[in-house]
Amino acid sequence: MAQIVADRRDIDFVLYEQLNVEKLSNYERFSDYNKKVFNMIIKEARQLAIKEFLPANAEGDRDGVTFENGQVSVPECFHRPYQIFLNGEWTSMVESPEYGGQGLPNVVNTAAFEYLWGANYCLANYGTMGHGTGKMIELFGTSEQKELFLKKLYTGEWGGTMLLTEANAGSDVGALTTTARKNPDGTYTITGNKIFITNGEHDLSENIIHPVLARVEGAPPGTKGISIFIVPKIWVEDDGSFNKPNDVVCTGVEEKLGIHSSATCSMALGGKGECRGLLLGEENQGMLVMFHMMNEARFNVGFQAFTYASSAYLYAANYAKERIQGKDLNAGKDKNAPDVTIVNHPDVRRMLLWMKSHVDGMRSLIYYVSLLFDIKDESKNDEEKQKKQGLIDFFIPIVKGYASQRSFDVCVEAMQVFGGYGYTKEYPIEQLLRDCKITSIYEGTDGIQAIDLMARKLTINGGKLFTYFVEEVNVTIAQANCVDRLSKLSAVLSESLEKLESVVNCLIKTMGSDERKTAFAHAFSFLESTGDVVMAWMLLSRAVVGIEKLESSKKKDTDYYEGIIKTAEFFIYNVLPPAKGKMDTIIYGNSASLEIPESCFGG
């Protein structure tokens, strides 16, 4: 079967036709780059993904990680491509050259990693996990901490993690029991146990830097008393040399449904009373420091989910165009009619277009948010900067929650196109489906993203974040209204947007009443409804560009642009109307899920 990772034609459309990212070169910090350089980077990422990363994906899934005597070994097939990955400086593309980076735009990094993550997420993530660790140190660390850790984290020479979760303190971070005691030399002695630690131990890096959430003795209870510490696997002296191994030990790895080649570890800190850490920021500032990483982390999980969906859809589309089975419906009872490829069957086409509409919409959204990260600090005034940051904050739970939900659905639908073959290990769909599922769970479950979207993003800054979103959608609606082929589509989207505004008003009112639990019972429906409106907006935006390009395109591009328009038409006429029904359920405000006796659950 063809080795498929990502759709380069659509990547180019989003980058250069929908978002015009080549204009980033007009900003001083990106002035050394241009479209030619961007294309060269994406091309190289594709080659690395297909030649080195993809062949190790299925093998890594079969072999998994091994754990012995506190040591974790990744699949042997990972070592060669991982070294090529580091040598190519792929882990530090967006970082400042001061810290070993290349200073590239986030949106170009996103395009490159659509290939790299799409080919082998687990492998790439061993190198990129250090980015979040490093970013916290860059923002809150001392000059000495930056000197010791940043360059090695950003370049992937050292690995990074996030030690947050405990057995009784997962989503409820404030319940953690890990403690920290200050030592005379300014370090802290850390004691506790953490679970579900991605890349907590592995043999791809000589050192791993663990940011650890803990409570200093005597600190207030709950999240207000949490601090964050830098805990190296091997202690690093002030001159950068290694001391002895720190007292932080992997006690086991999880056997999981998917991402078998990712080391998900249990970690014990201070089992011998000798785990040392450096305070990052100030005491009791841990949640503030961590949440500077969370936007990026949650965005990346949604992006990870999307790469699975994109691959699954492309495999399904390729299979449907090759698999011959059954006769064309128009052949009637003609026994002599030739068998056709299954892409000719109406229900298969429905599934493919359903997948395509979500994949295309998610790609545009994810690249759009990446671009916002690039341009928010380039704004000419504080109001414009606030708006761009507000849009990022509004879209993060949608990218994470909606994209992970719909990406898994895309993988399910792709398996359906393959039929029984999709359920076997002969084809890559079953691994994509298994690997994708984790994205709706970690970095905050999708239910938590829904609560964040409803309870925080609708209320902060007097509701401005939702207002910013509505303004952006209305710009696209106005553009589409001027195009004959799109005016009816824009009218349907406009009605849905108005309905969503009514839902928001209803939720805000309910959240401020004694019936607030009812609002929270409908938070997930609100996330899904909002996500559907966002997809319709992105697809209509693509169609506005597609119409313009169709009028001036070369003959070879006609089908592509026509496909963009038909994809928007399919989604807005077929997927968006049920979202309006879901909005009705929120307005109805039924509280049956709250009122049913607890004893009724489980029989």
Q: What is the number of H-type helices and E-type strands within the chain?
A: 19, 14
| Token code pair at residue 292 | 């500077």
DSSP string, 533-600: HHHHHHHHHHHHHHHHHHHH--GGGHHHHHHHHHHHHHIIIIIHHHHHHHHHHHHHT--HHHHS-GGG
Rounded Cα–Cα distance for residues 67 and 184 (Å): 36
443 a catalytic residue: yes
Cβ contact 521:591 at 8 Å: yes
| Phi and psi torsions of 420, nearest 5° | -60, -35
For the chain, what percentages of helix, strand and coil (3-state, to nearest 5) are there? Answer: 65, 10, 25
List the catalytic residue out of 443, 471, 495, 501. Answer: 443
What is the signed CA dihedral for 131, 133, 138, 139, rounded to 10 degrees?
110
Q: Residue 50 burial by CB count (10 A; 0-12/13-18/19+): exposed, middle or buried?
A: middle
Q: How many angstroms separate the CA atoms of 14 and 31, rounded?
A: 21
Nearest to 146 by CA among 157, 134, 156, 158: 134
Whole-number Cα distances in Å, 182 to 140, 145, 212, 256: 19, 18, 15, 37
Q: How many other C-beta atoms can be found within 10 angstroms of the C-beta atom of residue 192? A: 21
Q: Which two tokens stand for residue 305?
A: 């989910």
- DSSP annotation string for 476-512: HHHHHHTSGGGHHHHHHHHHHHHHHHHHHHHHHHHHT
Q: 276, 80 in Cβ contact below 8 A?
A: no
Question: For residue 30, which phi and psi values (nearest 5 degrees)?
Answer: -115, 15
Beta bridge partners of 268: 193, 249
Q: What is the 3-state secondary structure (H, E, C) of 104-131?
A: CCHHHHHHHHHHHHHHHHHHHHHHHHHH
Q: CB within 8 A of 547, min separation 6: which ones?
A: 483, 485, 486, 561, 565
Report the alpha-carbon distance of residue 395 to residue 372 in Å, rounded.
Answer: 11
Q: How far is CA 176 from CA 173, 200, 299, in A?
A: 6, 18, 25
Closest CA relative to residue 562, chosen from 550, 554, 572, 574:
550
| DSSP-H helix ranges across 429-486 | 429-437, 446-451, 464-481
Catalytic residue numbers read 443
